[in-house]
Structure 1
Amino acid sequence: MGAVLTALGTLTAVVVAGWVLGRLRILGPHASAVLARLVFTVATPALLLVSIGRTDLHVLASRAALATWTSTAAVAVVAALVLRFALRRDAGDVTLGTLASSYVNAGNLGLALAVFLLGDPVAAVPTLLFQLLVLAPIAFTVLDAHRDGTGATSPQPAAPRARLDPRPDADARDLAPDDGTDPPPPGGARRVAAALRATLRRTLTNPIIVGTLTGLVLAALPWELPDVVYGPFELVGATAAPLALLTFGMSLAVPAADRERAPRADLTLAVVLRSVVHPALAALVATAFGLHGEARLAVVAMAALPTAQNVLVYAIQYGRGQALARDAGLVTTLLALPVLLVVTALL
């Protein structure tokens, strides 16, 4: 387990450096938000373009990939259903809570674990691709759709009150919702077309989705691009992981009295799903798909990883679920070593 200790030690050192920077306010009071925006709009898209662009997409057809995608999707669906219908959270909180429960640190800890424990970095690729191609685009689409005028994700609004016309002959056409917006265009087809255009516009203007789609196009090309093309993106993308960890450390530097606290039920759900349910479910699914030995260990080890620090970056970017993303990342990271030790001992 030297690989796990080395990877966790490296992550911890960078987080501590971020905590020191935040505690001493060396970078100013808004450094955490600025770094989060830099990671979201520049560093992570560049990293995704390079990582996916150099990936052999045939890895998605393996049984290990299918087991990974099935177990992760199941955890995400369970988290979303519990948050929405049992805990009555709105769309923004459901989305961030789902990410905290299912989005793992495959890019940093996962790759290191795959190399040192399994001897093959490809073991982390199915997890990375599912998160980048499925979880992230869905989450960003929902969060972008619920932004308010300030750029933060807004809670569900109350139903608008009708504007009553005092005239006695007022008909139904005069009873329009007074929400400050223009009425929708007539006709169901036009409304659907407008909604589709808005969704497409939000999707194509999200930096991370753009980076992912560009990487997919490059990976599908029948030829390899020269390294000189990837070079600038690779250089910028290399800053994504350390900057995300520094941002995480800065978020922990805020005095406890001033920090927003994550709802206990939401945090408990995220930690249980992340550190207990997902590894156990991944083991069952991998066995059902006929995986044994190192192939099954790879699937379960990736499922046992802690919540990714990028979830906090996304929470800061959209202004929702920051406390949950921070606390889930901290607690699941502390639990990662014992959980991985148990997984390795059993499998």
Structure 2
Amino acid sequence: RTRRPRGGPSRPAPRDGALMGAVLAALGTMAAIAVVGWLLARSRALGPHAEQVLARAVFVIAAPSLLAVTIARADLALLLSRQALVIAATTLVVVAVAAAVLRGLWKRPVGEATIGTLAASYVNAGNLGIPIAVYLLGDAVAVVPTLLFQLLVLAPVAFTILDAQAERDPVREHAASGGQEPVADAADDVAAPARGRGLGRARRVLARTLRNPIIIGALTGVVLSVLPWDVPDVVLEPFRLIGAAAAPLALLTFGMSLAGLGRGADRDRSRPRELALVVVLRSVVHPLLAILLGRALGLEGVELLAVGTMAALPTAQNVLVYAVQYDRGRALARDAGLVTTLLALPVLLGIAALLS
């Protein structure tokens, strides 16, 4: 594979005006697609269950295909770089704070706390991160550590927790499994000894987790990446084409989720304190932590700007897809995605001004 050379000269940080253009272009594209989703939902052109169908299409086929191809072509050695260390360490701090407050202090249910933690830590590295990374470094290499950490660490842990909660809730398990029957009947647990019940539940959770399409896609990408030869493009091309639909479909789902605000069942709103926590962690705390730790580790110039920018990206729309899929924390995922996306431009321009 062609690897990006290391140790080259550091490029100067980009000018604010050029960065503004890149951010505006990316945000404008996202907004346009979300508006189309809003219009489709308002007109009911795709039927009453379109949001759930599109979310499931992203979750089951489009996102796994995108992840497999992206990771297969990534240089996993990037996980050992200083940039990757900054991203991993600061993201784990955000995860710990969000989980401690949502679950430990405010006693939110595990599923809702998990979605809230994802909303605070899982960033829009694909939709918005890739265009900005291309501008910063001339290619998408800056976004790879963030993508890999989210796909190989955050997503598997979150899905394991969400699958375990679905296992305890037969109704939501039935929805999360796409209408399939639960793996085992609850009567078996009642009849089995306590230890057997625990082992049986652990096996079922592990089986559900390993069948999770997102995790399958990420693991497939890792296997392809470590192979001693390159997988031919003709093999990956169908998955690349399907994966290209993940971002626009997720944005359409996001737009559809906004169409019902103030109407009927969608009058549910996120709790203000929870939304405030997620937004502050996502748009303020994480980028500041990344810049401070990056400086401490000797990053400077465009490398420091890159980690600060990646940490300041808004909440990924995939979080809403996961919330819809598991029927947990939909309002918080939706509102966090909206507010952090609106804040993305001033936050990114502030970082550019600070580090230029």
Q: TM-score, normalising length from structure 1?
A: 0.89
Aligned to 1:170: none
What's the offset of the Cα at 1:183? 3.5
The separation in 2 between residues aligned to 1:149 and 1:7, in whole angstroms, is 41
Gap regions ≥5 residues in structure 1: 155-178
Aligned to 2:98: 79
The separation in 1 between residues aligned to 2:121 and 2:81, in whole angstroms, is 21
Aligned to 2:183: none
- Kept in 2: contact 1:114–1:122 (CA 8 A): yes
The separation in 2 between residues aligned to 1:240 and 1:69, in whole angstroms, is 24
Change (3 A) 1:141 1:184: farther
Work out which of the residue numbers 63, 66, 81 in structure 1 matches 2:85: 66
Equivalence map 1:161-200=2 (5 Å)? 182-183=189-190, 185-186=192-193, 188=195, 190=196, 193-200=199-206
What's the offset of the Cα at 1:7? 0.6
* 2:98 is aligned with 1:91: no
Counterpart AA for 1:306: P
Work out which of the residue numbers 209, 212, 218 in structure 2 matches 1:212: 218
Work out which of the residue numbers 272, 281, 286 in structure 2 matches 1:273: 281
Aligned to 1:345: 353
Work out which of the residue numbers 217, 227, 241 in structure 2 matches 1:235: 241
Aligned to 1:149: 170
The separation in 1 between residues aligned to 2:187 and 2:249, in whole angstroms, is 40
SS in 2 for 1:182: helix
Counterpart AA for 1:149: P
SS in 2 for 1:261: coil
The separation in 1 between residues aligned to 2:296 and 2:188, in whole angstroms, is 52
Equivalence map 1:26-175=2 (5 Å)? 26-147=45-166, 148-151=169-172
Deviations, residues 202-221 of structure 1 (Å, cap 9, x unaligned): 12110000111111000010
Counterpart AA for 2:274: D
Identity score, percent: 61
Deviates most, 238-247 or 285-294: 285-294
Counterpart AA for 2:170: G
The separation in 2 between residues aligned to 1:244 and 1:238, in whole angstroms, is 11
The separation in 2 between residues aligned to 1:121 and 1:234, in whole angstroms, is 16
Aligned to 1:201: 207
Change (3 A) 1:118 1:184: farther
What's the offset of the Cα at 1:315? 0.3
Deviations, residues 177-196 of structure 1 (Å, cap 9, x unaligned): xx8553474474x5564344
- Kept in 1: contact 2:136–2:302 (CA 8 A): no
The separation in 2 between residues aligned to 1:291 and 1:152, in whole angstroms, is 45
Q: TM-score, normalising length from structure 2?
A: 0.87
Aligned to 1:22: 41
Gap regions ≥5 residues in structure 2: 1-18, 176-185
Aligned to 2:292: 284
Aligned to 1:319: 327
SS in 2 for 1:146: helix
Aligned to 1:158: none
Deviations, residues 57-76 of structure 1 (Å, cap 9, x unaligned): 11111011111110011101
Deviations, residues 122-171 of structure 1 (Å, cap 9, x unaligned): 000001111101111111111111112223599xxxxxxxxxxxxxxxxx
The separation in 1 between residues aligned to 2:263 and 2:102, in whole angstroms, is 26
Work out which of the residue numbers 232, 253, 259 in structure 1 matches 2:259: 253
Deviations, residues 52-109 of structure 1 (Å, cap 9, x unaligned): 1111111111011111110011101110110011111011011000000000000110
- Kept in 2: contact 1:144–1:153 (CA 8 A): no
What's the offset of the Cα at 1:327? 0.3
SS in 2 for 1:337: helix
Counterpart AA for 2:116: G
Aligned to 1:310: 318
Work out which of the residue numbers 313, 325, 343 in structure 2 matches 1:335: 343
Aligned to 1:167: none
Q: Report the RMSD for the aligned CA atoms in angstroms.
A: 1.7
SS in 2 for 1:68: helix
What's the offset of the Cα at 1:197? 2.0
Work out which of the residue numbers 201, 223, 228 in structure 1 matches 2:229: 223
SS in 2 for 1:275: helix
Aligned to 1:298: 306
